[in-house]
A and B are shown apart, each in its own frame.
Chain A
C-alpha cells in the first residue's frame, strides 16, 4: 500500500544545512546595510538643507565608535553585495556575439573594471585624493 512519507524543512534554520545557503542569506542581508546607509545619507541631506551649522553637527555625530563599527561592518557587506551581484551578471544577461555566447569571465571582468573606475571617480569627487 502507498504511504508516502514527507520530510519537513526546518522553516527557521534551513539555510544552516549548507554553506551555499549561508552565503545566499549573507547576500540577502547586504540589503539591510544598503538601506540603513541610504537612510543615513538622507539624514545628512536633511541636515545639509538646514544650513551649515546643522550639516557640521551631522558630520560630528558620525564621529563615534558606534558609527565606526557599523560602517566597517556595512562596508564589508556592501562589498560582498557588489561581488555577488557582478558574479551572476552573465547568468542574468548572457550576451550572444555571432553564434557563441561571450564567456562569463569577460562580462564579470568588465563589471569589475567599471566598478573600479566608478569608485575612483566617486572618491576623487569627494576629495579623498
Chain B
C-alpha cells in the first residue's frame, strides 16, 4: 500500500491560553491510501502533538461522535476518505456550536432540545403486560423506519443556517425524532409534542434549505420530516379553529 503526504490545517483552541481559535498546520503527515481523516488525526495525536483534542469512538459511522467541518463541509471524519480530498485538508470543529477545545464542541444545547420533543412512545392506550404487545405491520414500521436511523451526530445542525442564526430553533434532528414517534402507529403523543414542535422555534423556523438532508450520513432526510410536520400542524391549526368539536 502506498503512502501519501497530507497537510492538515486544524483549528486549535485552548480555553486556558487562547482568546480565539487559530489554525495550526501539521505538515506532511504520512498517510496510507485507504485512510480517512480521522486516521490522519490519530497519527498526529500519536506521533506529533499529543495535545490535539477531538471526539471519536467507533470509527465506523455508527456512534456519531467524530463530526467535523472538513474543507467547510460537515462530515463524519471516519467516513471522509483521504482519496476524496486534496493534499491540504482543512479541519474545523462543527459550525454553530461553541468550541470547548480544538475540535471538541459544546453539545449541551442539542441534548437539551432532544429531550424537549419527548422522543419516546406515548401509547394511545396504555396496556398492561398481560394484555400483550403493541402489534405493528411491516408497512407501519416502514413508514417511520428511516427516521430511526439518526445517530445524533449533529452534522445537520452544523449545516442548518437557520439554527446558526436563530439558536433557539429546535433544529433538524430533534424535530425529525419527534416526527418518527408522531407517525408510529403505536404512538398517541402527537398533540403533546406539537406544544413544542408547532411553535415558532419548532418547525416554523425551518425554511426548507434542505442542507440537513444533504449532509446526513444516515440518509434520515430531516428536511422531509420537517415539511411533513408543517403540513400536519397546518391541518391541525385549521381543524382546531374550523371544527372545534372534532378531537385529535
Contact = CB atoms under 8 A, between A and B. Distances in A.
Residue in A6, A88, A91, A94 whose Cβ sees the most chain B Cβ within 10 Å: A91
Contact of A91 (B99, B100, B139, B213): B213
Interface stretch (A13-21, A71-79, A121-129): A13-21
A91 B221 contact: yes
Interface in A6-60: 6-7, 9, 11, 14-15, 17-18, 20-21, 24, 28
Given A18-B72, A21-B209, A92-B228, A4 B99 contact: yes
Interface stretch (B14-22, B56-64, B127-135): B14-22
Given A17-B72, A91-B221, A100-B142, A9 B164 contact: yes
Given A1-B15, A7-B99, A100-B142, A24 B164 contact: no
A96 B161 contact: no
Contacts of B214: 20
A5 interface: yes
Interface residues of A, number: 28
Given A11-B165, A15-B161, A99 B98 contact: no
Q: Kindly name the residue among B20, B210, B231 whose own CB sees the greatest number of chain A CB atoms within 10 A.
A: B210
Given A5-B20, A9-B164, A14-B164, A21 B139 contact: no
Which residue, B95, B143, B209, B228, has most C-beta atoms of chain A within 10 A?
A: B209
Contact of B15 (A2, A98, A101): A2
A4 B165 CA distance: 18
Contacts of A88: 208, 210, 223, 227
Contacts, number: 77
B211 A20 contact: yes
B69 to A, nearest CB: 11
A92 B99 contact: no
A10 to B, nearest CB: 10
B16 A4 contact: no
B224 A92 contact: yes
Given A21-B161, A91-B227, A96-B143, A9 B96 contact: yes
A3 interface: yes
Q: Which of B16, B21, B227 has the most CB of A within 10 A?
A: B227
Given A5-B99, A96-B142, A14 B165 contact: yes
Interface in A56-99: 88, 90-94, 96, 98-99
22 contacts: A1-B16, A5-B15, A6-B98, A9-B96, A9-B164, A14-B161, A14-B164, A18-B72, A18-B73, A20-B210, A21-B161, A21-B211, A28-B207, A88-B208, A91-B210, A92-B224, A92-B231, A94-B224, A94-B228, A96-B143, A99-B142, A101-B142
